[in-house]
Each structure stands twice: as C-alpha cells, then as structure tokens.
C-alpha cells in the first residue's frame, strides 16, 4: 500500500468520520482530500457516474486548488476537445481528469498512477476497467480509491470492491435474435450478391446471436423487406429486396447498397425532448405541432430515457424549478409550473446504469454473511476482502445495525422488506427493499402500476432505484397491504407486456429498431433527420404496424424491452422464491423511513439537496418531504434548523395556545375544555384567551377547576389534573375534589410534558422548567424517556439566535408534521415565479444603484465594477456620464473614467450614430474586450474613410494631425466626419473619453455662409489618439470562448437572464446561440435554470444567489427609485413591455426618466422635461427622487401632466412641495 502519501485501495469512508460536524454536505469534505490526492500524484483520473457531477466536481476542485488542476471529460465534450484534454494529461500538462465512462475503455495512459472513483462503480466489470486505467504499464500495479457518497453507498462499494479483488465480473449478455439487426444485414448482403433462401437462413444461424432463430421469424423479416406490408400507408415500407418465392431466390433492389451503407451501424440516434411551457391557449405558435395541446415557450430538454419513465400528471425537477407534466407528444413534453412540489430529478442517458443482477445477489449475500458474523469477524472481512480502512467498516456495520433496529430485518438475497410509513407531509409511502437492481425493480414498478390501476383504481406514483422501489400514495387513507405489492410469477409478463405499448419507452425503442432495420433511413449520408421528425415518422409507422400482429419489429421491440432493458427472468425467479418461501417477505410499519428506505429516497432527492447553489426555497421544499433523520445526515443540524418556516411556527404556536380570537371558547364548557387542553394558566393568561372571570368562578364552584400556587403565582387548572400537579410539583390541593381526580397517575411529569409538547412548537427543556420551577436536568431526563418510547421527537428544529449555544429541542410528532406541512406550503408559495414588477424592483438593486444615498464616495474599484456589469450594452453617449455611471458610483467624476482608460483597464467602441450630436457606445474591460466585441457590421464607406483605415492599419494609433495629413488635408470637417463614421461603425476607437463628451450642439458644423476658419487640428472632437478596434480583438478568441464570455457578462448584468433580456440588447445569434453555453454553465454549477419570473418564458438562467435576492423583493417594503429611461437597470421597454395604459406614450429615449415604486412604474418624465405621465398614487417622495436624477440640467420647466396643463392638474400642489414654482409656461424648478 506504500507510505502515508499513498492512498488506500478501497472505500475512503473514514474521511467522513474524521470531519467536524455539523456539515451541510459531504462535498466540502471530499474536495480538499481529492485535491490533495491529485497533487500527490503525477496523473489522476477521477471517475464519477454522471456528466453533471463531472462538470461540477471539476469546477469545485479547481476553485479549491486555486488553479486549473483538473478538467471534465465526458461524452458531451466535443471529440476534438476530448482528444486535446487526453493529450495534455499524457504530456503531464494536466494533473487530472474528472470523467464519466467516456474514459473507461480504450485509453492507454501509462502516466496515470491513481484512479479515484466517487461513488461506487456501477458494476464489478466497470470498477476493474476504471481502476485498471492506473498503472497501465508492464509490471505496474493499478491503484485506486473509492469515495462513497453516503452510508448506503458504502455497502455497494464493499460488494463491488470484493468482486473486483476476487475477479467475479458480471456475465456479458448477447442479445438473442435481434430482428432489426438481421434486417439491416440481410439488405447489405443482398445488395452485393443474390442468395438462395435456405443458404441465407443457414448462414445467418451460424452467427451466435441468431443460433436459435426460427424460420418463421426469419421469413417475417424477409416479408417486411420485400414489401408485404402496404407502403401506401407508410412510404418507407416499400420493398428493399426482391423475393422470388417460386425459385426461393433473394436479391437487392436498386438503391439497396446505398441504403445499407448510408444507414450502417447499431448505435441508436437518441436525443432530447423539448420541454415547453403549457399555456392552455387555443392557438399554437407557428410550427408547433403538439397534438392539439399548446406549447408557449421552451424551458429545456429531457433525455428520452427520462421521458420513458415519466407520465402525464407526474412532477419533474428541471433546472431549479418543479414542473407538472401536462402532456407528452412525439417531440415535446408540455409542463405547467408546480413550485416546490417534490419531483423526479432530471437525468440524461448514460448518466446511470442499473446494477447488474449478479452484483445485486453478491450484495445481498454480503449483507447476509455480515449479519451472521460477529462484529469483529465482519470488520475483519471488510478490511481484508473489500479494502476498507479506518472507520469505514464500523460505519457500514453500524448502518446495517440501524436498519435491523428500524425494521427488524435487513434486506438481503433471501429477504425482501416491505416498509410502510408516512412521509413528512403526511402521504403514505411503501418501499419494497431488495438489493437486486433497477432491471428487476423497473418491471416490478411497471407491473404494479398496471395491477393497482386495473384492480383497485389506485393511481400511484412509483420510482425505483437499484435498492428497491417506492410507491407514493397522495391523500390515501391507508397504505397498501403486502399482498398488493406482490405479484404472481405467471401474471408478470402479461402485466408488463400490457402496460408497455402505452409507454414512451416502447415508442422510442420501436423508433430505434425501425431505424436499424432501415425503415427510417437518413435522407443523405452523414446527415441526421431532426429527432422530432424521426419520432413523427416512427409514430406513423407504429400506427400502421400495430394492425399487423406479426410485424417483426413489434416483436423485436417487445423482446428488447422485456429481455434487454428489464430482467424479467430474475424478477420471475424472485417472485417464485417468495411464493415457495425460499425468499422471506418481512412487512413492517415504521414511524419514519429506515436507513435503507432513506438511502432509496436519497437517490430521489438527495442529489438536488447537495447542489448548494440551488435556490433556497426549492432546496428546502424538496428537503421537507424527506425524513428528519435523513435530512440531518444530508444537511447537518445547522441547516436543518433553517428548514422550518419561523412565520409558520409562530402562527401554529398561537393556534395551539388558543390565542387566536377565532379559537376562543364560546361558553363555560369550552373554557373548561381549554384548561384541559393547555393546563395551568394565570387569570391574566386565560383572559388573553377569552376566558372571563365569571366562567372561572362558575367552574370553581362546580369543582371543575381549582386554583393552586405554582412558580410563585396563582394558577388555574382543571380538576382532572389535580393528582398530576400534586405528585409532580407537590402542590397543595383544596378539599372537596372527587376522589377519581386524586388517584396517583403512573408518570405525572411525563403526562404533563406530553401535553406541553402537544400545545407548543419545538421547545427546549428550559422552557417548561422555567414555567414550573423545576431543575432543567430533571425535565431533560423525563423528556429523554418520552423520546425513547417514541412519544416525542428530539433534535434541532428552530434557528438559534446569534451567540446563543445550540440546545436539544423536543417536539410532538403531530405538531412537527403540521409545522412541516405548513412550512412546505409557504416554501411552495415562495418558489412560485415572481411577477414582472418584482424583477423591475430587483434590477436596480442588483446593479447597485443607490436608493438611500448612504454609500461610500466614488472610487476606481467601484467604477470598474460598474463597467463590468455594463460591458457590451450600447448606451447613448449623452446618458453614460450624466445618468448611468453616477447612478452606480455616487460622486462620479469624469476624471475617474479617463484614469481607467489611460491605465489600459477600460476601452470604448462606437455602436451607431444617433443624429448629429449623439451616438451609442459600449464600454468594455480591456481584459475581456476581445471576447465580447460584436462583429463589425457595414463598414464606413467613402474614399476618405478608406484612407484613414489604411493609415491606421499601417501606422497604428495616431493623433488627428497625422490622420488629417493621411487623408490629404483639405476640409477639417470632412476628415472629422469620415473619422466619426468609422467610430460609429465600430471600426475606430480612442484612448480617451473626451471626444465623446464634446459631442452635441457645440460640436456641430459651422453655420452656412460663414467663411471657413484656418485649419486648427485641435477640435474637441479630434482629441486623443485614434486606433483600430481590430487591435482590441487580439488574441482572437474561439467561437466558444466568445459565447461563454457573452453569457457570463449577461448573467452578471441581469442576475436573472431571460430570452427577452438577450433580444433587447441585440446580441448576435440571440438567445438560441447562447443557450448551449448557458446549459453548460448550469451543468458546471455556475448558473441555475428555472422559471423565476412569470410571463418571460420557461428558459431562464440565474447566477447562484440571484434568485433568492429576487424573491426577497416580493415582500420587501416599497422602495422608490428613479432611473434614466435608457438605463440597463430599467427593464420597461426592453425586458418588460411598457404598461398597457401607457403604450405609445413612453419610450427608452435619452433625456427621459422613470420612477419605480417596488418595481411598479409610477412616473415618466418625457425627454426635454416638458411633460410628465403618472400612474397610480403619486407622493412627494416620488417627485423628489425624480428630481434628484433628472435635474442634471439648469432647469426643468414642466408644462403638462397626463396631457393637462400642469397648473390645472391634481399634481400641482405636490409639485409645489417638491420644489416647483410657477412660470409663464407652467411650473419650473432650478438646479441648485
């Protein structure tokens, strides 16, 4: 094993035990250890089981290392890029790779000296193949380390490593009689030779996969290829071969060879379904053929494999949002928002492979043998046979002990455990726990759906993993019985086969088989048909084929599903074992999910919780559907305390304590009921609950209530509690009470604590101790006894105040369930998309625009930050330094921008003229400008412009005197005009901002008729040195680098990026060009995708943290902010439409200003300041905010308000309060 620097071979679970608690996730623990291992070795490959994890883990490791330590390698990376990455690793220029199975086969790198597997390999064969990438040279030893992600993963790691060390690899299964492959091969053979029927049949049967091929199946394929089925119903059924049935001869038709060569191969052309937002309207967008349903806007994509397992009505998680599936068509999945609902996590094909049945049996056998061994013997075996080190073996054995304690039995190769419990929001869940893998559990789940729907009319939500299957029964009164989830072996195939044709899986496999059989050929070599088109053609073919039961591809699709995708034989063998009692079925009802059931649910939700950059509401909403103890394992107690909604807890406490007026008693009997429910109360406390002194007197006289002295004060309590208070606190009781109330209760303190828990949200022992004047230690002992009996729950429930020490809390199970249900409801409301006006209120805050005026003075750093967020926006020159930069940099001075440009930190580029005295300009950071510059549009025309262009190309940066001479002298104005034509065309820039500042009326041409002055060559518009923008484009970036930088700057600018944001800025290629890059950023954990703002399309991307800030504005107090109408932080007229009642009267014009209140547009000052438009109630604060930004000129003379003369408007008095005075034309305010 080597010295201390040498990593152990086997699971590295000991690391989890050595880290301090609490911890929000295991990932922060893994990152530093992985970085350490990579840095200790020459070349390392880290294998993971999904592309998403590869991207995220690579990004986190590089962040941890502070340099480019590793790169991600998976099938979604372009082949050329993968080869480049591999070459860098071989050459020693890259220390490591984070890879999926893309590096599992066919790579020979002697330099790799360590392989790390994060999570157990999917099979023994895969584990050997992956670890075998290390030490791949003569005499070298392959070394590897496995890092399990959670306790359930420890178990699979043990079985896989034991199988690897003993060489027990899984059997390779060869498909039997694949008729689609046969069809392709027959066409290829007949395209070059004529064959006798019998000779061809004999030859085919000599191939191993077709050794048992029947004559009838063979001839059915020939019938299909020879045109027996009607091609008038489906054109691709036309004959491919000629079959002379009299002579028994076969030959290819014209075009058969081209067809076979163009479509050769068996790898399926799989792809993505478009996920679109269902709007329920009556009209579909152009070109959207969606089976009668309407899709409004694209949200994302789902792999076909995910769609196979998704049904209408189910909830899926895509990006950061939850969506209810409304319909699944040939090309689209239509969804509606389902904020906060627990749902299936989206996955992509190849991200996970089902556990082979052989490994499942090894796993079950390992569990059984460990359970039958002594603790010492089991630990020794794990260290010897599975390479466990440190505390890993003890961790695993404790995991098995915990499972046995929870359910009485541990599922193994001879035991199936059926566990039933209510989840944390009250829905019944039934988990069937076995180790046999997804190929056994998938058909079991499918058959159960069919059986329960047909026999009991129950629609259950099913999911399966390698560790079992889970059924969720929303709103069910009782759970399913064990018999309900068991199947008869004889009915298995019939149930599955009956359910299959209606699934997306069957339709997709049929399409793949038809393509392999040359019935859905490519139109041209090397060019694939769009997948939606393939699916449509396949659906048409399936419709025709379904009328012919002997159509061979129907049989082949059934065979592939039942034999290749499912392991019906293994499931049938298991069901037979259950019936013969060779396999036991143990049924158990539990209060909460057992460790094994928790592990199954972890696969369902845990990966979403681990993504720490997911918006807070979504993570908490998903988490609240999990068991509390599993949450503690996933998140640690620190974040668990943040799960429950404080407002929900406060409301529930008021309800439980009877403090809400609607819960006050209405008569003396209900007053007595309140005392029985709550226990001892002072007269004042009862008064707060609506109990009158008269009622108390009446209850006392009737011996139904009494007064005792407790905690230094007099308190009322019901007569029924007399014995409990006497025995618990030694309270003196008045005489005359019925004897039955004086009998000693078995556990007086426990009885009172149970009632306390039923009428309070989570509490610590200190609360009842202070109430009753008892030692805290005594109550902690009594509460611990109630927890041990399962009557109360202990743990971490509520946030602790800053500086306070955390304490153990207690809660009644029903109170906690109610609290979690209400917290979940609140989180679902919070996870709903915000209204557009919330986005309008968020953007100024995101841009750092000062609303209170209390920010520090201007600095170069603050200005650099502002320029960074504004990169690439085409802004009118007239507003940049007057309106936009001062809004972000209080105390802004033009000298600051000059200094940054002179330092080489900032550059500017023209983006088009706006009349004579203005134009659009974009600011850039010099470090990023080459990747953000748009392509030059139409170049400036004219001989003089060409002369200036040539001079700058040959001589480089030049002053205007040099340019003037290069242009041949003459009219100074003509040369300047040509130069500025080049500027506005984006061809020429300057090393100072001064020429732009001096644009405007003063820079216009001289009046006609005036004699031209002598050439001065020092015009304001000519100052500084001029250079070609082309120089800023060096070094030339790749197209991908450009798109990545554009996407990143757009995300930084908008926080939440929508299609409308991109379109408003006019980026080349629009949102479609950026979409693949945004998806890659999402996969790398640098962005989140979701439905964050209502009405702006489903595909929205946000920076981590931006979504929480956006939602925080939903309930924020009203803030008033004034902005230039052209400011990028002002969304109306760009990202958002102008209000409907003001459309046509407002515009994003230089010199116009808006005022927003909580994002709502309330004031619009038109260009020139002569007209003001209002919406809603206007206050002096709004007018004052408007003047603070708009009064950057000498005066504003207002003439009209909402079309009326200003002095006759209702706003005149408020304008006076804001500082306006009368003028001949209306009302005027002067700049101080």
* pLDDT number for residue 576: 96
List, in order, residues 6 or more apart from 383 with CB less than 8 Å away.
Answer: 389, 393
**What's the confidence (pLDDT) of residue 1104?**
78
Residue 619 has pLDDT above 80, yes or no: no
Question: How does residue 1062 score in pLDDT terms, banded at 50, 70 and 90?
Answer: very high
Helix residue spans in 657-798 (DSSP H): 668-678, 683-688, 693-701, 722-729, 748-758, 766-772, 776-788
Pair 1147, 1153: CB distance under 8 Å: no
Hey, is 149 helix, strand or coil?
coil
pLDDT digits (tens, 9 = 90+) for 719-755: 999 999 998 888 888 888 888 888 888 899 999 999 9
Contacts for 905 with CB less than 8 Å, ≥ 6 apart: 864, 925, 926, 927
Region 167-192 average pLDDT: 94
Does residue 351 register a pLDDT over 60? no
Q: pLDDT at position 189, please?
A: 96
Q: 152-161, 229-238, 530-539, 1130-1139: lowest mean pLDDT where?
A: 229-238
Check pLDDT > 70 for residue 1039: yes
* pLDDT at residue 572, rounded to an integer: 95
Mean pLDDT of the chain: 84
Q: What is the mean pLDDT of residues 309-321?
A: 72
Q: What percent of the chain has pLDDT over 90?
A: 48
| C-beta of residue 414 within 8 angstroms of C-beta of residue 329 | no
Mean pLDDT of 115-124: 92
Does residue 1193 register a pLDDT over 60?
A: yes
Model pLDDT, residue 554? 92
pLDDT digits (tens, 9 = 90+) for 691-719: 999 999 999 999 999 999 998 899 999 99
Query: Residue 197 above 80 pLDDT?
Result: yes
Inter-residue contact 580 to 515 (CB < 8 Å): no
| C-alpha–C-alpha distance, residues 9 and 117, integer Å | 11
- State residue 310's pLDDT score: 75
pLDDT tens-digit series, residues 825-882: 776 666 678 899 999 999 999 998 864 444 556 688 999 999 999 999 999 999 999 9
**Average pLDDT over every residue of 129-142:** 85
pLDDT tens readout for residues 990-1036: 999 999 988 754 444 444 444 444 445 456 788 889 999 999 998 88
Asked if the model's pLDDT at residue 155 lies above 80, the reply is: yes
520-570 tens-digit pLDDT: 887 666 666 666 677 778 888 888 888 888 899 999 999 999 988 899 999
pLDDT band for position 654 (cuts 50, 70, 90): very high
Q: What is residue 587's predicted lDDT score, i.e. its pLDDT? A: 94
Q: pLDDT at position 871, please? A: 95
CA distance 717 to 612: 49
Per-residue pLDDT band at 345 (split at 50, 70, 90)? low
Residues 6+ apart with CB under 8 A from 978: 940, 942, 944, 945, 948, 967
Q: Which residues of 292-317 are buried (b: 16+ CB within 10 A; e: fewer)?
A: ebbbbbbbbbbbbbbbbbbeeebbbb
Contact 1098, 1116 (CB under 8 A): no
Q: What is the pLDDT of residue 1197?
A: 92
The two tokens of residue 1101 are 């991307």
Say what the pLDDT of residue 690 is. Answer: 94
Residue 804 has pLDDT above 70, yes or no: no
Range 848-853, long-range pairs (CB < 8 A, 24+ positions): 848/888, 849/887, 849/888, 849/1121, 849/1123, 849/1127, 849/1129, 850/887, 850/888, 850/890, 851/1119, 851/1120, 851/1121, 853/890
Asked whether the predicted pLDDT for residue 60 surpasses 80, the reply is: yes
pLDDT at 24: 43
d(C-alpha 484, C-alpha 449), whole Å: 11
d(CA 88, CA 630): 42
What pLDDT does 999 receive?
79
- pTM score over 0.95: no
Question: What's the residue count for the chain?
Answer: 1232
Q: Is the pLDDT of residue 437 over 90?
A: yes
The percentage of the chain sitting over the pLDDT mark of 70, rounded to a whole number, equals 85
Residues 6+ positions from 274 with CB-CB distance below 8 Å: 295, 298, 301, 331, 332, 333, 532
The structure tokens listed for 207 are: 């191939």
Give me 677's structure tokens.
Answer: 């429910």
Neighbours of 68 (CB within 10 A): 13
The CATH number given to 1-170+356-408 is 3.40.50.300
Lowest mean pLDDT among 263-277, 304-318, 740-754, 917-931: 304-318
CATH of domain 1138-1232: 3.40.630
pLDDT of residue 630: 45
Give all strands (DSSP E) within 407-527, no chain letters: 415-422, 428-433, 461-465, 468-473
State the pLDDT at residue 887: 92
Q: What is the pLDDT of residue 421?
A: 86
**What's the rounded Cα separation, in Å, for the pair 589 and 281?**
46
d(CA 697, CA 699): 5
**897-926 residue pLDDT tens:** 999 999 999 999 999 998 878 899 999 999
Q: Does pLDDT of 3 surpass 70?
A: no
Q: Is residue 441 within a helix (H) or strand (E), and if so which, with residue range?
A: helix 438-456
Is a pLDDT exceeding 60 seen at residue 6? no
* Residue 277 pLDDT: 82
Stretch among 405-419, 440-454, 809-823 having the lowest mean pLDDT: 809-823
Residue 726 and residue 735 in contact, taking contact as beta carbons nearer than 8 Å? no
Cα–Cα distance between 292 and 899 in angstroms, integer? 61
Section 447-456 average pLDDT = 84
If pLDDT is split at 50, 70 and 90, which confidence band does 1171 have?
A: very high
Residue 64 pLDDT exceeds 50: yes
Residue 341 has pLDDT above 90, yes or no: no
Sheet with strand 988-990: strands edge to edge: 958-959, 1025-1028, 988-990
Q: Could you tell me which residues are beta bridge partners of residue 717?
A: 706
- Binning pLDDT at 50, 70 and 90, where does residue 292 land? very low
Which whole number is the average pLDDT over 266-292? Answer: 59
pLDDT bin (cut points 50, 70, 90) of residue 600 is: confident
Q: CA nearest 36: which of 12, 10, 17?
A: 12
- Alpha-carbon gap, residue 783 to 601, rounded angstroms: 30
Domain-wise residue ranges, the chain: 1-170+356-408, 179-267+513-565, 272-345, 637-830, 854-1035, 1138-1232
Torsion of the alpha carbons at 946, 949, 950 and 953, rounded to the nearest 10: -160
Per the listing, tokens 């070094």 go with 1035
- pLDDT of 535 reads 74
């Amino acid at each position: 094993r080597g010295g201390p620097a040498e990593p152990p071979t086997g699971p590295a679970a000991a690391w989890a035990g050595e880290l301090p608690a609490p911890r929000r996730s295991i990932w922060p623990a893994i990152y530093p250890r992985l970085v350490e291992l990579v840095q200790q070795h020459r070349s390392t490959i880290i294998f993971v089981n999904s592309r998403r994890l590869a991207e995220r883990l690579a990004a986190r490791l590089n962040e941890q290392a502070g340099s480019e330590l590793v790169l991600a390698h998976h099938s979604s990376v372009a082949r050329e890029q993968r080869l480049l990455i591999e070459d860098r690793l071989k050459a020693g220029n890259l220390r490591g790779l984070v890879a999926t199975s893309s590096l599992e086969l066919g790579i020979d790198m002697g330099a790799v000296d360590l392989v790390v597997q994060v999570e157990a390999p999917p099979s023994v064969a895969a584990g050997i193949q992956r670890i075998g990438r290390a030490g791949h040279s003569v005499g070298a030893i392959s070394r590897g380390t496995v890092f399990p992600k959670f306790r359930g993963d420890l178990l699979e790691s043990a079985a896989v490593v034991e199988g690897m060390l003993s060489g027990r690899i899984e059997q390779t299964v060869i498909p039997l009689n694949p008729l689609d492959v046969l069809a392709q091969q027959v066409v290829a053979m007949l395209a070059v030779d004529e064959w006798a029927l019998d000779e061809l049949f004999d030859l085919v049967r000599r191939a191993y996969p077709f050794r048992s091929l029947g004559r009838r199946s063979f001839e059915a394929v020939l019938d299909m290829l020879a045109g027996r089925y009607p091609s008038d119903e489906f054109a691709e059924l036309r004959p491919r071969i000629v079959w002379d049935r009299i002579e028994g001869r076969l030959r290819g038709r014209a075009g058969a060879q081209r067809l076979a060569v163009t479509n050769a191969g068996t790898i399926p052309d799989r792809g993505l379904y478009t996920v679109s937002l269902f709007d329920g309207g009556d009209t579909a967008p152009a070109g959207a053929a969606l089976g009668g349903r309407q899709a409004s806007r694209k949200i994302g994509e789902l792999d076909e494999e995910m769609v196979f397992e998704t049904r209408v009505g189910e909830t899926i998680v895509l990006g950061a949002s939850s969506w209810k599936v409304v319909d699944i068509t040939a090309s689209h999945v239509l969804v509606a928002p389902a904020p906060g609902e627990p749902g299936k996590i989206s996955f992509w094909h190849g991200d996970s492979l089902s556990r082979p049945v052989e490994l499942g049996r090894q796993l079950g056998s390992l569990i059984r043998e460990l359970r039958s061994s002594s603790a010492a013997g089991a630990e020794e075996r794990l260290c010897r046979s599975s390479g466990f080190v440190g505390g890993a073996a003890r961790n695993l054995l404790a995991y098995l002990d915990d499972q046995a304690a929870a359910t009485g039995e541990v599922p193994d190769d001879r035991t199936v455990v059926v566990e039933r419990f209510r989840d944390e929001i009250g829905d019944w869940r039934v988990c069937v726990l076995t180790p046999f893998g997804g190929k056994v559990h998938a058909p079991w789940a499918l058959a159960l759906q069919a059986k329960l729907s047909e026999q009991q009319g129950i629609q259950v939500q099913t999911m399966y993993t390698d560790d079992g299957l889970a059924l969720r029964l929303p709103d069910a009164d009782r759970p399913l019985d064990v018999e309900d989830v068991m199947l008869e072996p004889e009915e298995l195939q019939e149930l599955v086969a009956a359910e299959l044709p209606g699934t997306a899986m069957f339709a997709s496999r049929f399409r793949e088989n038809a393509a392999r059989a040359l019935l859905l050929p490519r139109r041209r070599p090397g060019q694939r048909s769009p997948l939606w088109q393939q699916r449509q053609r396949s659906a048409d073919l399936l419709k025709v084929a379904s009328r012919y039961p002997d159509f061979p591809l129907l049989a082949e699709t059934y065979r592939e599903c039942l034999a290749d995708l499912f392991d019906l034989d293994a499931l049938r063998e298991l069901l037979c074992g259950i019936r013969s009692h060779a396999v036991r079925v143990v049924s158990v009802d539990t209060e909460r999910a057992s460790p094994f059931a928790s592990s199954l649910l972890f696969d369902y939700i845990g990966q979403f919780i681990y993504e720490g950059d997911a918006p807070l509401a979504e993570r908490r909403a998903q988490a609240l559907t999990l068991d509390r103890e599993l949450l503690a394992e996933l998140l640690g107690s620190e974040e668990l305390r943040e799960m429950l909604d404080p407002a929900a807890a406060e409301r529930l406490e008021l309800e439980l304590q009877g403090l809400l007026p609607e819960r006050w008693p209405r008569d003396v009997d209900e007053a007595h009921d309140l005392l029985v429910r709550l226990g001892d109360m002072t007269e004042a406390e009862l008064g707060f609950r609506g109990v009158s002194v008269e009622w108390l007197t009446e209850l006392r006289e009737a011996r139904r209530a009494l007064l005792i002295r407790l905690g230094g004060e007099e308190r009322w309590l019901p007569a029924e509690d007399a014995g409990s208070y006497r025995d618990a606190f030694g309270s003196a009781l008045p005489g005359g009470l019925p004897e039955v109330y004086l009998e000693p209760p078995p556990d007086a303190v426990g009885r009172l604590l149970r009632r306390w828990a039923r009428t309070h949200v989570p509490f610590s022992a200190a609360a009842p101790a202070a109430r009753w004047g008892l030692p805290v230690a005594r109550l902690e002992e009594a509460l611990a006894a109630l927890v041990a009996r399962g009557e109360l729950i202990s743990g971490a429930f509520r946030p602790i105040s800053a500086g306070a020490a955390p304490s153990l809390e207690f809660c009644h199970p029903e109170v906690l369930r109610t609290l979690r249900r209400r917290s979940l409801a609140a989180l679902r409301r919070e996870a709903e998309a915000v209204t557009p006006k919330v986005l309008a209120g968020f953007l100024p805050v995101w841009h750092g625009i000062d609303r209170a005026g209390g920010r520090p003075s201007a600095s170069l750093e603050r200005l650099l930050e502002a320029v960074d967020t504004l990169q690439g926006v085409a802004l009118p020159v007239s507003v940049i330094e007057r309106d936009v930069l001062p809004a972000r940099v209080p105390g802004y001075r033009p000298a600051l921008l000059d200094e940054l440009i002179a330092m080489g930190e900032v550059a500017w580029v023209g983006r088009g003229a706006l009349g004579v005295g203005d134009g659009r300009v974009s600011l850039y950071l010099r470090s990023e400008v080459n990747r953000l510059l748009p392509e030059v549009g139409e170049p400036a025309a004219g001989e003089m412009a060409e002369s200036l262009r040539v001079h700058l190309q040959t001589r480089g940066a030049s002053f205007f005197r040099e340019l003037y001479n290069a242009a041949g002298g003459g009219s100074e104005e003509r040369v300047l005009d040509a130069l500025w034509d080049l500027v506005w065309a984006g061809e020429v820039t300057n090393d100072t901002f001064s020429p732009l500042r001096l644009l405007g009326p003063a820079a216009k041409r001289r009046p006609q008729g005036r004699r031209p002055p002598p050439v001065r060559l020092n015009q304001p518009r000519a100052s500084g040195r001029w250079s070609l923008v082309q120089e800023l484009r060096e070094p030339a970036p790749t197209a991908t680098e450009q798109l990545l930088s554009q996407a990143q700057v757009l995300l930084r600018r908008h926080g939440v990026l929508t299609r409308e944001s991109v379109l408003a800025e006019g980026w080349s290629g629009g949102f479609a060009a950026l979409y693949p890059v945004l998806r890659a950023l999402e996969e790398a954990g640098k962005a989140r995708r979701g439905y964050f703002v209502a009405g702006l399309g489903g595909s929205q991307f946000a920076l981590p943290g931006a979504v929480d800030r956006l939602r925080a504005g939903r309930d924020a107090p009203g803030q008033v902010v004034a902005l230039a109408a052209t400011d990028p932080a002002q969304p109306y007229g760009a990202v958002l439409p102008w209000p409907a009642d003001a459309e046509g009267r407002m515009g994003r014009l230089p010199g116009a200003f808006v005022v927003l209140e909580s994002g709502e547009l309330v004031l619009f000052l038109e260009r020139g300041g002569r007209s003001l438009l209002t919406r809603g109630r206007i206050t002096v604060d709004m007018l004052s905010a408007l003047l603070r930004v708009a009064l950057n000129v000498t005066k504003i003379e207002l003439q009209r308000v909402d079309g009326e003369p200003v002095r006759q408007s209702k706003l005149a008095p408020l304008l006076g309060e804001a500082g306006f005075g009368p003028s001949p034309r209306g009302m005027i305010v002067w700049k101080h």
